Amino acid sequence: MKAFDDNITRTGTNVRFSNNAYRFSNLQNSTVAELNSRFAGGFSNKLILSYSAIRDSRDVVGAPGPAYQISEGGVTYSLGQERSSVANQLDQDIIEITDNLTKAIGKHTFTVGTHNEGFKFRNLFLNNGAGYYTFSSLANFQAGKATQVQSSYPTANNGEASFKAAQLGFYAQDEYTPVENLRLTLGMRIDVPVFVDKPGYNAGVTEGSKAANGTFNAGFGSQYKTSNTPNGQVLYSPRLGFNWDVNNDTKIQLRGGTGIFSGRVPFVWISNSYTNSGLVQGSVNQTAATGTTLPVQIDPAKIATSYTQVLTSQINLVSDNFKLPRYGAQTWQPTSACRVMLSPPWKESTPRPLTISIIRIST
């Protein structure tokens, strides 16, 4: 599947040139294989393998180059590459393995299984990656005299966060039919998120570092490490449901249930720990002194050495005992429904029943 969405907004006081537009691009490819097997002793098995590749990006429309903002007469002019779209990409590769083993014993049908997902992420975001220049007038823009420059640049790993993670799931279910028209289902599922890779370790954050002038900047202590990842959080999901065919003729059915349901763990919450460790990106932010201006550097590779570098870094980390919150990954959901099949009041050559379903889902 391939999709895109073009974006540009303008107002009477905010004029954006067409080369300042950007496009959200999405490309998805999925492949699924399924194997159904039967074994001696009444066992059956279903194995499902799938692979998905998802590519999301914000793409610039104009020719390569910096972003410019000009202010004059109460109007702001924006042109050049959109500042947040120069280097903004998210790649996801997902492998899923599902295996269910089923066995019927008397009035019980037992199922045990596993559902495992492996993730590979590549997240690139360099804000102002080609440089972002502001000008106090149109004349200064034409003369290449900027009042401020901002940019981010890679210092390692192309400035991107790359890591692998997994979510392991195991479950068991008993489908019990005490009488012919009543089916009860009881199950338990356990999910465990796993971070395979760790962010880089920035010794300056934990142990401290020596500044250029020789002074020592103390660290924050061993409980603060940029290499920390959340501890294994076990997510328990019990479930109970029923289906009652009132007259045992499928015309009136009542069904419902309650349980805790786990979705995919929001691994993106932790992705900033891989990018903002102080090891893979640097930045410049320089404002011209009063009465002076700054030259424009067209080559992004030279920005880091052409302007004043920011000596501090934004650091994202988690504590030693941090666990992913259950909220956002799990939700309790009771449901109830009634399904009624009626004969139509009109005559037909081939009678077809009318089906009315009333469903209630509480969250």
Query: What pLDDT score does 233 carry?
Result: 79
Residues 6+ apart with CB under 8 A from 32: 48, 49, 50
Rounded CA-CA distance 1/16 in Å is 31
The distance from CA 35 to its chain's CA centroid, rounded to whole angstroms, is 30
Query: What pLDDT score does 359 carry?
Result: 62
Strands 182-195 and 330-332: unpaired
Tokens of 240: 């109970």
Positions of the chain with pLDDT under 50: none
Cβ–Cβ < 8 Å for 256, 335: yes
Task: Please list the residues that pair with 218 across neighbouring strands.
Answer: 208
Query: What pLDDT score does 269 carry?
Result: 78
The pTM score is: 0.80
Cβ–Cβ < 8 Å for 236, 259: no
CA angle, residues 285, 286, 291, in degrees to nearest 5:
160
Q: DSSP of 320-344, one letter per residue?
A: TT-B--SBTTEEE--EEEEEEEE--
What count of other Cβ atoms lies within 10 Å of the Cβ of residue 293? 16
Q: Where in the chain are the domains?
A: 2-361
Rounded CA-CA distance 276/161 in Å is 9
Q: Between the CA atoms of 125, 129, 135 and 138, what dihedral angle is there, to the nearest 10 degrees?
A: -110
Rounded CA-CA distance 161/275 in Å is 5
Query: What pLDDT score does 334 carry?
Result: 86
Q: DSSP of 41-60, one letter per residue?
A: TTEEEEEEEEEEEEEEEEEE
Tokens of 35: 């194997």
Rounded CA-CA distance 355/252 in Å is 10
Determine the residue type at 92.
Answer: Q
